Amino acid sequence: MSATRVAIMGIIVEDTDSVEELNELLHEYRAYIIGRMGVPYRQRSVSVISVALDAPQDVTSALAGKVGSLTGVSVKTLYSNVVAEQDAADA
């Protein structure tokens, strides 16, 4: 069993060339994603994305690190105090 935490990841995309890589990463981690919302802010030429997750903290941190390494992409993660045990079979 491993503990999972509910978290929200805020992502700002300033370089549209990184969108495809970002979507690939989010697809790779789709098993942990509760939901996501993207808002294009055309006046500033950025996209604002929020991703809700329920995942082990190391998984959330790994995703945030990969997202943050993309060119023109910023990310911050906020963790809740909601922790649950997850069976290995559920992972």
- Provide block-wise average pLDDT over 10 residues at a time, the chain (91 residues): 91 96 98 97 96 97 98 97 72 52
Per-residue H/E/C for the chain? CEEEEEEEEEEEECCHHHHHHHHHHHHHCHHHEEEEEEEEEHHHCEEEEEEEEEECHHHHHHHHHHHHCCCCEEEEEEEEEEEEEECHHHC
pTM, entire model: 0.88
| 61 found inside a domain | yes
Quote the pLDDT of residue 1.
59
| 49 found inside a domain | yes
Q: What are the tens digits of pLDDT across the range 47-67? A: 999 999 999 999 999 999 999
Quote the pLDDT of residue 2.
81
Instruction: Give the CATH number of the domain where residue 26 resides.
Output: 3.30.70.1150
- Number of structural domains, the chain? 1
